[in-house]
Structure 1
Amino acid sequence: MVELTMLHWIYVIMTLVILMVMIMRRDTIIPCIIGVFLISFIAKRSIVGATKGIFDSFIVATSELIGIILVISCIVAMSKVLEEIGANNLMVKPFAQFIKTPDIAFWFIGIVMLIVSWFFWPSPATALVGAVLLPVALKVGLPAIGVAMAINLFGHGLALSSDYVIQGAPTITASAAGIPVEKIMLKGTPLFLTMGIITIIIAYVLLKIDMKKGKIIGPKVDFDEESNRKKTSNVAKFAAVIVPIAFLLDIATMFYFKLRGGDATALIGGTAVTLMIIITIAEYKRESLDKITKFIKDGFMFGMEIFGPIIPIAAFFYLGEISPIEAVLGKGVLPLGSQGILSDMGRALSSIAKMNRPVVASMEMLVGAITGMDGSGFSGMSLAGSLAKVFGTAVNGSIPVLAALGQIGAIWVGGGTLVPWGLIPAAAICRVKPMDLAQRNFIPVITGLIVTTIVAMLLI
């Protein structure tokens, strides 16, 4: 067994500090930067080297995340042009004719939200689906809080935690765990399904019970339907048809050519950019060059706004792997035979503590859920992936299953289904209070997390 060094213990101590900061609902960027500084200082034994290590760690983290940052930015850029020309309404509006009862409204909105979120990310999808289908749902008797729950649980919960198309969440988790992204997506599927099915069914049943008891009464909401009455252009109609077809062809291409991970992400991103350019040129003609620049700028601003705070956090946790820490601090920084700080700690842990699979599954879920308390499910996935490798090594279990479990905990808690400060998009579009939505989600989400953890114990 490799002897643990001061670098190992500094990493462990700072990880505990970061967890404490998350529990106190404070941002973790400063502790993460301090952790990078201390590790760099111990390795380089100089202030200059430690200071340089901070920036170098950012570069390494960015290189790991740049692909997903770019694809999200490209997709949002495309969604901007669709929104501006009114094609987003046309894409979803035909589904409104199928909504006849509150029950159909809940499940239909949820499923549409799930599909749209896989391709457009939950935040843009919330505005896209909510703005069009909320008035229809209210008309058939589904309260606004029910619409918010459907949008929230299917989109920011199930879609974002599984993330099969864009692969943002599994890419971050897999990078930190040091495993291929497709392994998390494959091994994590039973967990994603368990969490989604259990949580959403319980939420639906409790909603129906309270509706029958009269505890939930849909408030009257005045919506401005001018945009729906506004005449849409032929280009918007064309875009509403070609965009879904293009992404369906992407899915077929992924299956046929067995594209996974970065290749699949690149296909989605390239398709989004191509569609944005074609639609913008067709709609704006001479103004298209300036418009394309605007849409690209808006997309990248969104991407950096989401991932800007994640880079410093990921920079610290990536140092637990052998390749990133050597890229930042140079080769030979760890003892001979070391497989990385996390692997070393996992082996050490397995030799001194009788950890079993139920214990590590519970710890992985707990840590994932705690990291989500800052309201950003993504900020905790690097830690979830890193700990999955530690725990998986300690019990000789499945690292992908543990990583998927931690990812579920981080996303469902912090991605926008449980903590009030992460529920603002869905609550705002449905005109309900974030705290009310959080209270409605609490029992279903907590129950789902517990059941999913038990399932994970059997799969590790």
Structure 2
Amino acid sequence: MQLVAAHWVYLAGVVSLIGFMIARKSVLVPAIIATFLTTWVYSGDVLDGIGSVFSASAVALTEFLNIFLVLAAVMAMIGAMKTVGAEQRMIAPLARLMTNGVVSYFVLIVVTYLLSMVLWPTPALALIAPFLLPAAIRAGLPPLAAAMAIAIAGQGMALASDYVIGVAPGLSASGAGIPADMIADRALILSWVVGAVAITITFLLYVKGGAVQRIRRMLPYQRAVVARIEDVPVAVGSALVTKRLPPVPPVAGAGGDGPGEGEGQDGDTDVPSEGFRTRLFAVAVPAAFGVLVCYMLLGKVTDWVPAVESGHGAALVGGLALVLTVALTLITRGRDGVEQVGSHFVDGLVFAFRAMGAVIPVAGFVLIGISDFAGRIMLLPEDADPPSFLFDIILSGGRFIPDNPVLIMFAMLVAGMLIGLDGSGWTGLPFTGGLADALAGANTEHTATFAAIAQNAAGWTGGGTLIIWSSLIAVAGFTGVPVTTLARRLFVPVVTGLLLSVVVAAVLW
């Protein structure tokens, strides 16, 4: 593979992103500059370089739109639940389990993992942060340990396998040419291996070790997180912004919520937390998602119900969230319900773009290295053969990989981590799937294993736990821990787990 000047400019851009991240600087500026220079050097036209800065973000937004919409739908549902206090009622029993720092650490991990498998990590975080985090901190868990627990369980384990919603395995399978379930099953096991290692190391270093008191003094918990329950937290970088919900007016004819029951000292009338509707939706929402998950799992492992098509999980989760938003809002808001549904959805979109909007220009730069997107970003003619900078660089090192399955597995690990630099860990999965197929020959078992290793690495890197231009900024914002500190502390536990996962894959498959 012959690399030209544009390849080296692109590679320099990738290195600059990593360097800026290590230096705790914003990666937005180097991403924009690298996009401009890569296109200019490749095309020789400075105007194409200028135009690519905009088109890169436009293409990245198009590719991530389904993620934004699912996030918006779930956040709309959570906003509707907040109007009656149902989300507090739903999570409150779990907060009572947090009797000390050790118990709180593992409760956070289990709850985050289960919610993230169904709702994706960032929407799940919006449920966890206002209630479980304050309880965990009060019980003695350091904020850094709490942030690491959430990132490992949600942005790491849940997103790397994406076993329930199934977007990631579907993308990997599209390039590998094998059933998505073969990749999904392996990715699930590998995500558990990485998670177990990362959880153990974090526990020993930051929960049980002697560093706990030092960390607590270094990173005092941000009081903004323990603000009133009716505040909606929104992550913006490493800052926490709160948005006040309007008071809920009484609904004519509604039983169990008589006038004056929820009036506070300021005269606002809120639906009482003990009301029938609060209990109803506190049970109905998790029950509805529980039924959906059970149905999807039954379709995967049995013939009792039709299997859900790969990639349809996101649509089902988002659609169910919107249906529940409509039902909850119309029941609780009376005549204003129709308008309030739209308001909740807009608030969900605002949250999605605030939490992940900074990822778009950076992802646009990474996508310029993928041939499926490079033509549109660089404004090339439709009949032109678009370049593939990132994949060419990866493939150029292929000749140094011996024809040994174990060494190929480690090479796929590195390739997956490079793909994860896009900030989502998913856009390059069709490529890693195709690369796995090419390196495995006709052996479908090896193809599935190689693709699962790359998917797992890409998910942990870009999902993310290792780079700061991913949804890790949401975890940092909610917990009050600087995102650069969080990424650096996660590096050793996560990378150690990734390396061990390759060894496990070599033994099992």
Residues 344 and 29 (structure 1 numbering): CA distance in 2 closer, same or farther, change over 3 Å? Answer: same
- Report how far residue 270 of structure 1 moved: 0.9
- Report how far residue 349 of structure 1 moved: 4.0
Q: Is the 8 A contact 1:71 1:166 kept in 2?
A: no
Distance 2:73 2:461 in 1: 27
Distance 2:139 2:410 in 1: 42
Q: Aligned residue for 1:240? A: 282
Paired amino acid for 2:285: V
Residues 118 and 280 (structure 1 numbering): CA distance in 2 closer, same or farther, change over 3 Å? Answer: same
1:379 is aligned to 2:423: yes
Q: Aligned residue for 2:380? A: 329
- Report how far residue 57 of structure 1 moved: 4.6
Q: Is the 8 A contact 2:468 2:483 kept in 1?
A: no
Q: 1:10 aligns with which of 3, 6, 24?
A: 6
1:122 is aligned to 2:121: yes
Q: Aligned residue for 1:277? A: 326
- Report how far residue 88 of structure 1 moved: 0.9
Query: Which consecutive unaligned segments of at least 5 residues does structure 1 have?
Result: none
Q: Is the 8 A contact 1:64 1:175 kept in 2?
A: no
Distance 2:191 2:124 in 1: 20
RMSD: 4.7
Q: Secondary structure at the match of 1:444?
A: helix
Correspondence list, 1:406-421, <5 A:
406-410=458-462, 411-414=464-467
Q: Secondary structure at the match of 1:110?
A: helix
Once the two structures are superposed, what CA deviation does each residue of 1:277-330 show, in whole Å capped at 9, x if it has no partner? 111111111222332222111111122234433333333443444443455524
Q: 1:295 aligns with which of 344, 348, 361?
A: 344
Distance 1:436 1:36 in 2: 27
1:159 is aligned to 2:201: no
Q: Secondary structure at the match of 2:467?
A: helix
Once the two structures are superposed, what CA deviation does each residue of 1:71-95 show, in whole Å capped at 9, x if it has no partner? 1111112112223321111111233
Distance 1:365 1:138 in 2: 35
Q: Aligned residue for 1:19? A: 15
Q: Secondary structure at the match of 1:381?
A: coil
Q: Aligned residue for 2:302? A: none
Q: Secondary structure at the match of 1:210?
A: coil
Paired amino acid for 1:333: A
1:444 is aligned to 2:493: yes
- Report how far residue 444 of structure 1 moved: 3.4
Distance 1:211 1:417 in 2: 30
- Report how far residue 201 of structure 1 moved: 2.5
Q: Secondary structure at the match of 2:332?
A: helix
- Report how far residue 407 of structure 1 moved: 2.4
Residues 32 and 97 (structure 1 numbering): CA distance in 2 closer, same or farther, change over 3 Å? Answer: closer
- Report how far residue 361 of structure 1 moved: 5.2
Q: Aligned residue for 1:309? A: 358
Distance 1:178 1:10 in 2: 31
Distance 1:159 1:277 in 2: 28
Distance 2:482 2:363 in 1: 32
Paired amino acid for 1:241: V
Q: Is the 8 A contact 1:342 1:386 kept in 2?
A: no
Distance 2:399 2:149 in 1: 46
Q: Is the 8 A contact 2:10 2:369 kept in 1?
A: no
* Greater mean alpha carbon deviation, residues 281-290 or residues 161-170: 161-170
- Report how far residue 69 of structure 1 moved: 1.7
Q: Aligned residue for 2:317? A: 268
- Report how far residue 11 of structure 1 moved: 3.6
- Report how far residue 213 of structure 1 moved: 10
Q: Is the 8 A contact 2:74 2:322 kept in 1?
A: yes
Query: Which consecutive unaligned segments of at least 5 residues does structure 2 have?
Result: 232-260, 263-271, 300-304, 441-446
Q: Is the 8 A contact 1:166 1:268 kept in 2?
A: yes
Distance 1:314 1:417 in 2: 9
Q: Is the 8 A contact 1:43 1:333 kept in 2?
A: no
Q: Is the 8 A contact 2:160 2:458 kept in 1?
A: no
Paired amino acid for 2:330: I
Q: Secondary structure at the match of 2:128?
A: helix
Residues 111 and 333 (structure 1 numbering): CA distance in 2 closer, same or farther, change over 3 Å? Answer: same
TM-score by length of 1: 0.75
Correspondence list, 1:413-432, <5 A:
413-414=466-467, 424-428=476-480
Aligned length: 445
Paired amino acid for 2:195: G
Distance 2:348 2:174 in 1: 24
Once the two structures are superposed, what CA deviation does each residue of 1:350-400 show, in whole Å capped at 9, x if it has no partner? 34775866666556656766898xxxx762636864884696478546244
Q: Secondary structure at the match of 1:188?
A: helix
- Report how far residue 43 of structure 1 moved: 6.9
Q: Is the 8 A contact 1:199 1:444 kept in 2?
A: yes
Correspondence list, 1:16-55, <5 A:
16-25=12-21, 26-33=25-32, 36-37=35-36, 46-48=45-47, 51-52=50-51, 55=54
